[in-house]
Amino acid sequence: MVLGYEALCKVAQDARQRLEGIDLEAKQFDEWLAAEKRAAHKSGKKVAKTNRGIAQRNESNPDAPAKPLLDEPYVPRLSPAGLDLSNLVEGFGLHEAQGLSVSEIVDTLTKWGPEKGFSRESFRPIYLIYRTMSAIGTHTNMHILDAYFVPGGFVRIDPMPNNGSASDSVRVTSLYGTAFLAGRVLGECGIATPAADEICDWLKPDPSGRAAWAPGV
């Protein structure tokens, strides 16, 4: 990763890749939905024709057990996504789509820290905490579901996580990280950031070991 305009281009390439992915998925969904509706309507016509025949047979043979009618196929009622991001994608010009991982950004910040004077430590722990928080709190997974099971002879569900919640740690760390970045990025441009500076002083990590990146509050 590089500085200046080239670094911005990498961010733009990553944005383009994400937009192209969303645009493609939206178009694929619209095509799938249209095909499902066509198939359901076609099948519905066949079922309706068959049911008319069954109804006529039942009417012609009142003494015989009535033959049940076939269920009509379900026709999706969803509207197409209708999402078109082509103008946004084309706005990136000649910059081809290319992903930019958080891990790569973290390594670059670690490299730039001593050069630019904003850090002498590795930013890798921040990345690891970010990945951990994503795993335990952002998306439903076994770690989340398991926290609600009450151990014992019978399987019972607890209304709250039985091993505590990571929400407070996530909230405070996110606030501190946002304030830290605001102070560094805007501060480099000579812009005063009194609110961000105050938050950083309030929630700064505890060097005693009681807290690592998560603030010692």
Strands (E), 117-215: 149-150, 156-157
> Cα(67)–Cα(60) distance, rounded to whole angstroms?
12
Residue with more model confidence, 185 or 1: 185
State the Cα–Cα distance between residues 27 and 14, nearest whole angstrom.
20
Which one, of 24, 23, 26, lies nearest residue 88 by Cα? 23
166: Cβ contacts below 8 Å, ≥ 6 apart: 133, 136, 137
Question: pTM score, two decimals?
Answer: 0.63
Helices (H), 98-141: 102-116, 124-133
pLDDT digits over 130-162, tens only?
887 777 666 666 666 666 676 666 666 666 666
Residue where the block lists tokens 């830290």? 180
Sequence ranges of the domains in the chain: 14-90, 102-203
pLDDT band at 2 (very low <50, low <70, confident <90, very high): very low
* pLDDT value for 206: 67
As a whole number, mean pLDDT of residues 193-209 equals 81
- 49 phi-psi bin (left φ>0, alpha ψ -120 to 50, beta other): alpha
Question: Measuring CA to CA, which residue among 107, 137, 98 is closest to residue 12?
Answer: 98
User: What band does 175 get if pLDDT is binned at 50, 70 and 90?
Assistant: confident
**Partners of 156 in the β-ladder:** 150
Largest CA distance in the chain: 94
